[in-house]
Structure formats: structure tokens, C-alpha cells
Structure 1
Amino acid sequence: MKSRDLFENFNPSKFFTYACLLLFSILLPLRLDGVIQWTYWAVFAPLWLWKFMVILGASVGVSIWASNPQYHAEREACVELKAMLISVGIHLLLFVFEILVCDSIETGEHAWMLVFIPLFFMFPVSVVACVWGFRHDRSVELEILCSVNILQFIFIALRLDKIIHWQWQVVLVPLWVFMSIFCLIILCYIIWSLLHPWTPNVASGQQRASLSEAMMWITIYVPFLTFEVLLVHRVDDLNAFSYKTIFVPLWLSLLTLMIMACWQKGGNYWWFGIRRDFCQLLLNICPFLREYGNISYDFCHEDSEDDEETSDQEVPKLAVIWRKDDKKVIRQSPGAYSLPHPKVDINMPD
């Protein structure tokens, strides 16, 4: 493991998002089990922090873009700015939804169909964002999740308002379908990763990276599916587990996502108007981290392969000269080769 790879591929936005979700998933079961007696406004504090950083980062980025007209002519800068604004719009709708959820839990005065209206508005916005993102080669993970789960949002709102009286196992049928499709995608990726080592012209590093990523996705999917099944059985009164026990698999999935965010290079450079990679900015602010970034760790030391690679690289290629008169081949030492002088000199005319 190389520290340089960590600094080059670290994705701060995803890492911060997953960290906030992990903290929220820790506070929520503690509140549901009665271990803490905080109001839900305090329990939702990690989500408020997440949305606050999004709004602050976008505000700073837009102000810097507006105050520097030279950036307006850069096509890539305009694409990055539009992507940031689309992301902010979706986060604002999520923010309104979370406020309504908190207020409805605390007061019980709002119908759940009214609470879910921001998610219903998010559906067309997410579809347009997905189309735009595919055309401009942008990451649209959040937009895809919001667009494919619209039917699930409607079912949950109807069930909470007691318009339908289905069991939660039936209410979450769209989620089961989505998880089944996601499972097929993961299985295809695992099969491809297992067949990848036998593909010609593939480096060993790429083989290990593919297998590692496949294992990561398994570590995310299986605990998350376990969490969903346990939660559904709990709300249907089919088990009596505490919410802390039910949320443990979710914590494992979020921790895995945080680890993967350390090697998922990406993110928008216009957040906070930094106009550069976050780790480059961090290295400029904290120069002592550069020494750490030049350290590498080898947990699987293979002397034979390393020796063969170094021996192949260190063997110099000897220059070959063919002497036509003597019909001999002369090999010179490296660095001593020089082009032979021509036998006939051609004088250029004045």
C-alpha cells in the first residue's frame, strides 16, 4: 500500500458524506431504543452538517466563479459548475424532506404524503440530471438512487398515512427488486474479476485491484441486505431485536464505503472554489504530509519477482555496430556508442 496513492485518489466529498451517514446511523438506533433522550432535531445533526457543508461549499464556489470572468470561457469549468449546481439542487430537496420528517416526528401534525413531496419533485430533477451526467461523463450515483426509488417513496408514504395496510415486507417490494438487480450486477462483476487474471496483457496490479474491489462490494451488499431484512421483520413485529443490533450491519457497510472513498478519485473542483485536487491543497497547507506521502508499505513481499523485475530493468542494452569491410559485429559498452563518420562528404553548394 502506497501513501502516495491515498493522497492521489482520496475522494473527500464521498468520505465526508459516508461519515455523516455513519454518525446518524449510530445516533438514530440509540434514540429509538431510549438510550439517549435527545430530540430528533439533535439526532439529525449529522445530516444538517452534511447539507450545511454542501450549501457553504457551493456558495463559495459560485462567488469565486462569478468574480473571475476568465473562468467563464473554459468549457470544463462551466461543466463542473453546472454539475455542482445540479447536486446542490438535489441536496436542497433532501434538506427540505429531512426538515419535514423531523417536524412530523416531533409534532405529528403533517401528513406523510406532504412530507414526501420534496422526494416526488426530486424524481424529474434526478432523471434530467442523469441524462445530463451521462452526456458529460459525470458521476450520477445519488441521482440514480433518487430516480429509481420513486415508487418506493410513494408506497412508504401511503403506508405511513395508513391509506394502505400492507405488511412492510410487501411495501418494500420495489426495494427488493432494486436489490435483486444490484445483486446480479455484483455477481457479473465478481465473475469478470475472477476471469480477469486469465486475460492476456493484464498486469498483476490490475488483477489484485479488481479482486479487491469485488470483495469490497460483497462486504457492502451482504450487510446492507441483512440490515434491511432485520429492520423489516422488526417493524412487522416478527422479531424483538434492539435497533442497535439491527443497525450493526449498516455500520459495516458504511465503514466499507468510507474505505472505498479513499481510493475513488473524483469530486468537483468547484466546491469551495479550490480549483484543484483536495489532497494537493492539503499538501500545500501541511508540507510535513509530503514525507508521509513518499512512504510505501509492502505487506506481501515477493523477493523473486522483484529481483527478476529489477534484473530485467538493470540489464543494459549494448549498442551493435556492423562493420561491412571486416564482416564483424562489434558490441560497445553503454554510453560509448557513437555514430560512424560518413565515408563520402557532400559539400553543400553556396
Structure 2
Amino acid sequence: MNLQSMFRDFNPGKLIVWVCLGSFTALLALRLDGELDWSYWAVFSPIWVWKALVVLGALVGNIVWLKNPQYRLEGQSYIQYRALLISLGLHLFLLMFEVLAADKLENHRHAWVSVFAPLILISIVSIAACIWAVKHDRSFELELFCSVNLLQFIFIALRLDEYIRWPWEIVLVPAWILLCVSVVAVLYSIIFAGLLLRMHDVNPDRRRTSMNSAIGYTCLVAPLLIFLITLASKLNGNTSATYTSVVSPLYISYTTLILMSFTTKRANQWWFGLRKDVCQFLLGVCPLLQEYANISYSLPQDSRPSRTPQAAEAGLASGDNKRDGATSSRRLEHRVVVPALSLEVPD
């Protein structure tokens, strides 16, 4: 149980995003099924929480940036600050789309084309944002999602306003294309992981990483494919399934994305003006967590490969039995993950 990788790679922003989206999906499905009589403004409450945290974090980060010019000389502060501004702008346009969508569902006062207009604008701007992120080695999941779905957003808006009367299977053609590419990538990762398992000279960590990637991508893409198939059938009126059952496969994908938030790239350190990872900030605030993070536990392996009598005799001659006896007991290892605090006890 080693917490070093979690403290190094955990991205709390993505964790908040997927939890909020999962909660919103459940509330929206229940509202469409008539199980809830809440207004759509209340149904969108997880989305408002997500956007409030984004705006508050960016506001605090800008205040710290303006009041402390000396912080701008630290490493890649300028690049991270620009990434913060780009992300804030995209989230504000996304918030505009969500407000218009909630108002449309509640009051029916707008056309869907006008509701999707901010989302279409985001998709166009996201293309330039993706190029900038690749150039500066920044993560760009939201920007990539918006840019590749530009045509899909246009089709959905035109279909909801009945400018086109295509079946939903045809309306979702851009999504089918993206999923087909994703399925090919998943199959490649599975084949690659299987080949590495058969190669005994490959590093075990590399085999484990490839297997985890194959499982993660499968649990991410397969539920999305099932969701789109059942959603298209539901919208066409070909099934009597509830929206709750239609969105149920999405929770496998949400769970996978939540787990991936612990092994992803670090978040922007200018959110809330922390200038460090959130885990490092919490470790500094709570000294007891520092002591816990500096401890890792290693348990012995129960199964060992059997040895031939010749190998056993060779091991006995070289003192191998002593080493086996020393490693068979449970041991406690201390690894320095974060700077430990020194505690002085007064006389």
C-alpha cells in the first residue's frame, strides 16, 4: 500500500468533474422518467457546483497572480497561468450553454440552435486550444472533446429543432465514427497487453501497466457504445426502456474515469492560488498525513516457483536459504515521499 504515486499523480479537478457529471446524469434521467418533479434548475445543481468551483478557483488564482509578482518567476508559471485563463474561458462558454439548456427545458423559450451556439463556438476555439496545449505539453481533454464533436453538436441542434428529420442513428454518425476509432485503439491495447504477457523477458511493471491500460480503455469505451445504441433506440421510440436504464452503462465509464483521475497528469497549480499540488498542500496543512504518506507496506508473496533439487543444493551452498527466510517475514519499509516534519518535545 504505497501512497507515493497517488500523491504525485492525483488530479482532484477531474475527480470533481466526473462526480458532478455522474450526479447530474442520474438526476436528469430520473427527471425525464417522471420519478422526480424538480425543476430543471435544481436538476442542474451538480453542474452549478462544478462551475462555481471553477470560477472561484480561477478568481483566487488571478488574485494571487496579481498580488505576488515574484511567483511569476517560478518554473512554468506563465504557461500554467495562460492554461488557467484558457480553461476558464472555455468553462464560461460551457456555463452559458448549460444555462440556456436548463432554461429551454424549463420554459421552452429558445430554439435549440441558439442553445447550442455557445457549444459550437467552444468547439471552434478548442481547435486552437488543442494546438497550444500540445505545443506546451498540457492536458486538453475538454478541448479535444469539444473540437472533435463540432459536427455532432450541429446535427443534434438541427434534429431537436426538426430542421432535419433523420433517424437518430444517422444523427449520431459522428459519434459512431469516433467510437469506431476508439474500439480499434482498445483492440490494439488488448492485443499489445496479451503479447507482453507472453514475453517473459519484459519488465513486470511494463506488463502490469499495459494490462491496466487495456482494462481501463475497455471499461471506458464499451459502456459508451452500449449507451449510444440504447439512447438512439429510445429516442426513435423503438424501446420502452426508461432513461435510467439507458444511462446505467455510463456509470461504468464514470467509475473508470474517477479511478483514472488518480493516475493522470498533475492539475494546474494556479487553481485557488496554491502553487503546488492539492495533495502536497493538504500534507502541509495536516502534518499527520505527512507521517502516514512516508510509510509503505510490503507483504510477502505466498506462492513461490518450485525449484529443482540441483537448484536447491546450489542455493543452500550460497546461503540462499537464509535470504529466503529473511524475506518470508512481513516487513515494513519507509520511503520518503514528502518532507517529514521534525517534532521537538519540550523538557
Task: Give aligned pairs, total.
Answer: 311
Instruction: State the one-letter code of the partner of 1:67.
Output: K
Residue in structure 1 matched with residue 126 of structure 2 by the alignment: 126
Q: What CA distance in whole angstroms lies between the structure 2 residues aligned with 1:177 and 1:287?
A: 50
Change in CA separation of 1:206 and 1:110 when aligned onto 2, cut-off 3 Å: same
Residue in structure 2 matched with residue 71 of structure 1 by the alignment: 71
- Asked if the contact 1:4–1:295 (Cα under 8 Å) also holds between the matched residues in 2, the reply is no
- Asked if the contact 2:223–2:250 (Cα under 8 Å) also holds between the matched residues in 1, the reply is yes
1 or 2 for the larger relative contact order (CA 8 Å, sep ≥6)? 1
Instruction: State the one-letter code of the partner of 1:179.
Output: L
- Asked if the contact 2:139–2:265 (Cα under 8 Å) also holds between the matched residues in 1, the reply is no
Residue in structure 1 matched with residue 259 of structure 2 by the alignment: 259
The structural deviation recorded for 1:3 is 2.7
Aligned runs of 1:27-46 on 2, under 5 Å? 27-46=27-46
SS, match of residue 138 in structure 1: coil
The structural deviation recorded for 1:89 is 0.8
Aligned runs of 1:159-198 on 2, under 5 Å? 159-197=159-197
TM-score by length of 2: 0.84
For residues 269-303 of structure 1, give each alpha carbon's deviation from its aligned partner in whole angstroms, at most 9, with x where no partner exists.
01001011111111122222234434546688356
TM-score by length of 1: 0.83
- Asked if the contact 1:130–1:144 (Cα under 8 Å) also holds between the matched residues in 2, the reply is yes
Residue in structure 1 matched with residue 100 of structure 2 by the alignment: 100
SS, match of residue 116 in structure 1: helix
Residue segments in structure 2 that go unaligned for 5+ positions in a row: 306-314, 327-347
The structural deviation recorded for 1:217 is 1.2
Q: Does 1:91 align with 2:85?
A: no
The structural deviation recorded for 1:11 is 1.1
Residue in structure 2 matched with residue 250 of structure 1 by the alignment: 250
Change in CA separation of 1:123 and 1:18 when aligned onto 2, cut-off 3 Å: same
Instruction: State the one-letter code of the partner of 2:249.
Output: P
The structural deviation recorded for 1:182 is 1.4
Q: What CA distance in whole angstroms lies between the structure 2 residues aligned with 1:184 and 1:28?
A: 31
Instruction: State the one-letter code of the partner of 2:277.
Output: D
Instruction: State the one-letter code of the partner of 2:216.
Output: M
Q: What CA distance in whole angstroms lies between the structure 2 residues aligned with 1:31 and 1:265?
A: 35
Q: What CA distance in whole angstroms lies between the structure 2 residues aligned with 1:253 and 1:29?
A: 16
Aligned-pair identity in percent equals 43
The structural deviation recorded for 1:48 is 0.8
Q: What CA distance in whole angstroms lies between the structure 2 residues aligned with 1:258 and 1:22?
A: 10
- Asked if the contact 1:11–1:267 (Cα under 8 Å) also holds between the matched residues in 2, the reply is yes
SS, match of residue 76 in structure 2: helix
- Asked if the contact 2:65–2:72 (Cα under 8 Å) also holds between the matched residues in 1, the reply is yes
- Asked if the contact 1:127–1:143 (Cα under 8 Å) also holds between the matched residues in 2, the reply is yes
- Asked if the contact 1:25–1:251 (Cα under 8 Å) also holds between the matched residues in 2, the reply is no
Change in CA separation of 1:8 and 1:116 when aligned onto 2, cut-off 3 Å: same
Q: What CA distance in whole angstroms lies between the structure 2 residues aligned with 1:218 and 1:279?
A: 29
Q: What CA distance in whole angstroms lies between the structure 2 residues aligned with 1:164 and 1:258?
A: 37
Residue in structure 1 matched with residue 25 of structure 2 by the alignment: 25
RMSD (CA atoms): 2.3
Q: What CA distance in whole angstroms lies between the structure 2 residues aligned with 1:169 and 1:133?
A: 33
The structural deviation recorded for 1:119 is 1.1
Larger radius of gyration, structure 1 or 2?
1
Residue in structure 2 matched with residue 319 of structure 1 by the alignment: none
Change in CA separation of 1:300 and 1:236 when aligned onto 2, cut-off 3 Å: farther
SS, match of residue 137 in structure 1: coil
